[in-house]
Amino acid sequence: MIIPETPTNESFRIKALKSLHILDTESEKEFNEITTLAAHLCEVEVALISLVDSNREWYKSKYGISVCEIPRKYSFCAHAILTPEKPLIISDTRKDPRFHKNPFTEGDQPFIFYAGIPLIDHNGFALGTLSVIDSAPKTLSDTQISSLKALANQVIILFELNKKNKDLEKMQGKLKHRNETLKEFAQVISHDLKMPLANIITTSDVLKLKLTKYLDKETLKYFDYIRHSSFSMSTYINDVLDHYESDSLIQKEPEQFLFEDLLREILNLLNISSNCTIQFPKNTQTLNCNRLALKQILINLIGNSLKYNDKEKIHINIDTSEDTSYYRFKITDNGMGIPEEKLKTIFDLFATANTVDRSGNKGNGIGLSTVKKIINNLGGSINVASTMGVQTTFEFLIKK
């Protein structure tokens, strides 16, 4: 018996093999189907997908034998990877000095016939073989050899797909960790900023009250600027918190309720003025869904219909319907509208329509992003249609 030599590129080859993250992984159907097919195509007793590690030959898939690995010094595959440009085919291993008195050429199930197709990755490294083995001398036809080569290519493709999936899972894990860290950071910072902002607002109001008779009107306006800016910052902080805390809404259990009751509750919160007319759905509908999440969605959308409206009389129409799988909601207003070029990005985080609201304040681009995030998490979708200066319609679905 001749112990297999070590390839000249061994350190790089082992590094390429390890990078696949496939050694010692569980059996997989896709690989097992290939070894089964190889055994039937070549009419042999054994078929293997073998990988040559530093000191062993390990089987990712095996057909016809029960062992999972063997020492590298006894490996047929370790000889095959020394000439990766061609298959290693031996009709009778007992007559080959490399395998004379090899433990696997003897015993109850001897490896007499061997054919190994090197598994070569995209960098040219021979990682192992797709091999077929029998306990009697044998030859393969050209068609059988071509078929084995085609199957070997499929093994490499599966290796690469597995690697990409593992890399993707690793990246997703890192992104999830970073997102959780960012979420915690945003919550801590937002909460920590709320009290100083409240103090700034209160202090500026007290100073303005005390200094009114000593300062002229133009100077006193600076206190209004401070107050206005502080409230804008407070709104921004609240929107950031709502965005990062929206995930917790999805954990709430579905409940049954009247949609009209929810709308009345929302309108009371929004403190609707007398110049606003809101048309409720014609039919009272009973819903069975995540009430708190739907409430947050509607507060944002109806609130926008009120804020981004330049008409003397505000009109908002709310409609709802359902099918076997979804609840459908539609909110139409006679507001300012959204520019056509902004419709595709209006749901992106921090994207705005570059317009100011009814009070002259500019949006921060968080509210609609939060709405879309909640709706997507509820298994639904949202769309918007708008005509500048005429109306805007938001239509969304949530899964029952």
Q: Which residue has the higher pLDDT, 219 or 69?
A: 69
Q: Is residue 223 in a domain?
A: no
Is a pLDDT exceeding 90 seen at residue 192? Answer: no
Strands 391-399 and 381-387: antiparallel
Residues 97-112: b if buried by 16+ CB within 10 A, e if exposed: eebeebebbeeeebbb
* Average pLDDT value for residue range 321-333: 94
| Residue 369: Cβ-neighbour burial (10 angstroms; 0-12, 13-18, 19+) | buried
Radius of gyration of the CA atoms of the chain, in A: 35
- In this structure, the answer to whether residues 19 and 157 fall within a common structural domain is yes
Dist. CA 117–CA 353, nearest whole Å: 61
Do the bridges between strand 391-399 and strand 326-333 make them parallel or antiparallel, or are there none, so unpaired?
Answer: antiparallel
Number of domains within the chain:
2
Query: Does residue 240 lie within any of the structural domains?
Result: no
265 versus 351: the higher-pLDDT residue is: 265
Q: 162 with 304, same domain? A: no
210 in a structural domain? no
pLDDT band at 145 (very low <50, low <70, confident <90, very high): very high
pLDDT of residue 305: 93
Cα–Cα distance between 117 and 228 in angstroms, integer? 75
Question: Could you tell me if 79 and 98 are in contact, meaning their C-beta atoms sit under 8 angstroms apart?
Answer: yes
Instruction: Say if 201 falls within a structural domain.
Output: no
Q: Are residues 159 and 259 in the same domain?
A: no
Residue 239: is its pLDDT beyond 70? no
Check: CB of residue 259 under 8 Å from CB of residue 266. Answer: no
| Banded model confidence at residue 30, pLDDT cuts 50, 70, 90 | very high
What CA–CA distance (Å, rounded) separates 162 from 157?
9
pLDDT of residue 246: 63
To 10 degrees, what angle do helices 367-377 and 291-307 make?
150
Q: What is the CATH number of the domain that holds 329?
A: 3.30.565.10
Whether residues 126 and 262 share a domain: the answer is: no
- The average confidence (pLDDT) of the chain is 88
- State whether 140 and 275 are in the same domain: no
C-alpha pair distances (Å), 133 with each of 28, 31, 96, 347: 21, 17, 15, 60
Do 153 and 263 share a structural domain?
Answer: no
Pair type for strands 276-279 and 314-322: parallel
Cβ–Cβ under 8 Å, residues 339 and 353: yes
Residue 187 included in any domain: no
The residue among 106, 138, 167 that closes a domain is 167
Do both 34 and 133 map to the same domain?
A: yes
**Are 256 and 107 members of one domain?**
no
Q: Are residues 15 and 155 in the same domain?
A: yes
Tell me which of 167, 200, 232 is where a domain ends.
167
Sheet of strand 391-399, all strands in order from the earlier edge strand to the far edge: 276-279, 314-322, 326-333, 391-399, 381-387
- Residue 203 domain-assigned (yes or no): no
Tokens of residue 230, six digits: 């502080």
What secondary structure does DSSP assign to 292-330, as a single string? HHHHHHHHHHHHHHHHS--SSSEEEEEEEEE-SSEEEEE
- pLDDT over 90 (residue 142): yes
H helix runs in the chain, sequence order: 10-19, 29-42, 77-80, 142-211, 217-249, 259-270, 291-307, 367-377
Q: Residue 45's Cα: distance from chain center in Å?
A: 43
Task: Name, in order, each residue with C-beta under 8 angstroms of 77's C-beta and a sequence gap of 6 or more.
Answer: 48, 50, 52, 57, 116, 128, 129, 131
Q: Which two tokens stand for residue 215?
A: 């300062």
pLDDT confidence of 187, banded at 50, 70, 90? low
CATH code (residue 56): 3.30.450.40
Which residue range forms the structural domain that includes residue 327? 250-399
Q: Does residue 31 lie in a domain region? A: yes
For the entire predicted model, the pTM comes to 0.52
Q: Is the pLDDT of residue 349 over 90?
A: no
Query: Tokens in use for 180?
Result: 């959780």
Report residue 383 as tokens: 């769309």
- Residue 31 in this model has a pLDDT that exceeds 70: yes
Where is the domain boundary, 142, 167, 192?
167
Phi-psi region of 321 (alpha: psi -120 to 50; beta: other; left: phi over 0): beta
Q: Within a domain: residue 332?
A: yes
In terms of phi and psi (left: phi > 0; alpha: psi -120 to 50; beta: otherwise), the region of 123 is alpha
